[in-house]
Amino acid sequence: MLCQATMHLKVPHSDALIQTMIEFSNASQFAYNYARKNKINSWKTLHQRTYKEIRQRSKLPSQLCCKAIKFALETKKGCRNRKADFSKELTIQYDKRSYSFDFSGKCSLSTINGRIREILYIPDYYLERYKEWDIRSAGLSKNGKELYLNVVVCREISPAAPTESSKIVGVDLGINNIAVSSERQFFSGVGNHIAKLQRLRSQLQSKGTTSAKKHLKKLSGRMTRFMRTVNHEVSRHIVSMINAGDIIVMENLHGIRRKQRGKKLNGLLSGWAFCQLRAFVEYKTVRKGAFFVVVPPHYTSKTCSRCNEIFSERPGNAGFFRCLNCDYSCNADLNASFNLRKQADALRNTCGLFVNQPIVAKSY
């Protein structure tokens, strides 16, 4: 299984790099507009129709022109419902032909004025973790006045072979409790904090004064940073409960925001970064040599984890589940995590994790 990571390294400021980022942004915007106007989804077709004109318009080297076209097409596929503006966030996508890097800190980057060579500082944390990993592509980005090179490294990791004693941990995601594991660990939700930030942002937007706009600029990105920190902490605690060969199972909540549930609940869902939490748990699980399984979320909150009785509506109230068949009761999120663990247990043979084989055939 291929495991990837990104190293964020500070790059000394250079006018050549800034000008190259502007040229790359303009080339990507041109290729993006052309692909959007002519409904092109093939990189080969877009490259044939735009490469010559981009070379004439810009001072970019040939390889960066190719990367700009490819980056524009990838952006088009990811932004289907809105138009992208590449000037808002300057960046350059590098591959092995347009840059070089090694763990001694030596770096060479292609620009409109030829190659520039720098010695980058690599923190000890990156050297300890990723020195034996393979170096792949990189991206140069601008954050304020600083330039950062995001180097992608990867390594092939083989998960340990599971056994009958391998632990299965079901993790249910929610808003009241951001995550609840079948090991009876509860991680409290962030609904109140999200609602507070959204209320503050709404008040500042309605005010419209110069001071309010300055405050909004400071508030920009605060919720994103907060949710990223919380998700990292929660995922680290969840993965710390398992060893190599164990299994973590989570539910697939893709498309949960499509349904209209009212203004208040939709606002909470918009600030709930469940996909990011799932991604953090997945890559940390893979790095530990364990398995990560995703199952459908249907009926996990309406099924009794003891007698498997399915109800049309979840019995109980105030986040509490009470079975009307066997009178079993527990926390609703904990009950759902037990059901997720059961689904992963049933999928063991399907996923090829291991199969119990009898020593001898039964005689009748």
**pLDDT tens-digit map of 128-171:** 989 889 999 999 998 888 999 999 999 887 777 666 677 889 99
pLDDT for 259 equals: 61
Span of 65-74, 190-199, 286-295 with lowest mean pLDDT: 190-199
Domains of the chain: 2-156 (no CATH), 168-189+228-351 (3.30.420)
Say what the pTM is. Answer: 0.71
Helix/strand/coil (H, E, C) string of the chain? CEEEEEEEEEECCCHHHHHHHHHHHHHHHHHHHHHHHHCCCCHHHHHHHHHHHHHHHCCCCHHHHHHHHHHHHHHHHHCCCCCCCCCCCCEEEECCCCEEECCCCEEEEEECCEEEEEECCCCHHHHHHHCCCEEEEEEEEEECCEEEEEEEEEEECCCCCCCCCCCEEEEEECCCEEEEECCCCEEECCHHHHHHHHHHHHHHHHHCCHHHHHHHHHHCCHHHHHHHHHHHHHHHHHHCCCCCCCEEEEECCCCHHHCCCCHHHHHHHHCCCHHHHHHHHHHHHHHCCCEEEEECCCCCCCECCCCCCECCCCCCCCCEEECCCCCCEEEHHHHHHHHHHHHHHHCHHHHCCCCCCCCCCCCC
State what percent of residues in the chain have pLDDT above 90: 31
Stretch 260-273: mean pLDDT = 58
**pLDDT tens-digit map of 9-52:** 999 988 999 999 999 999 999 999 999 899 888 989 999 999 99
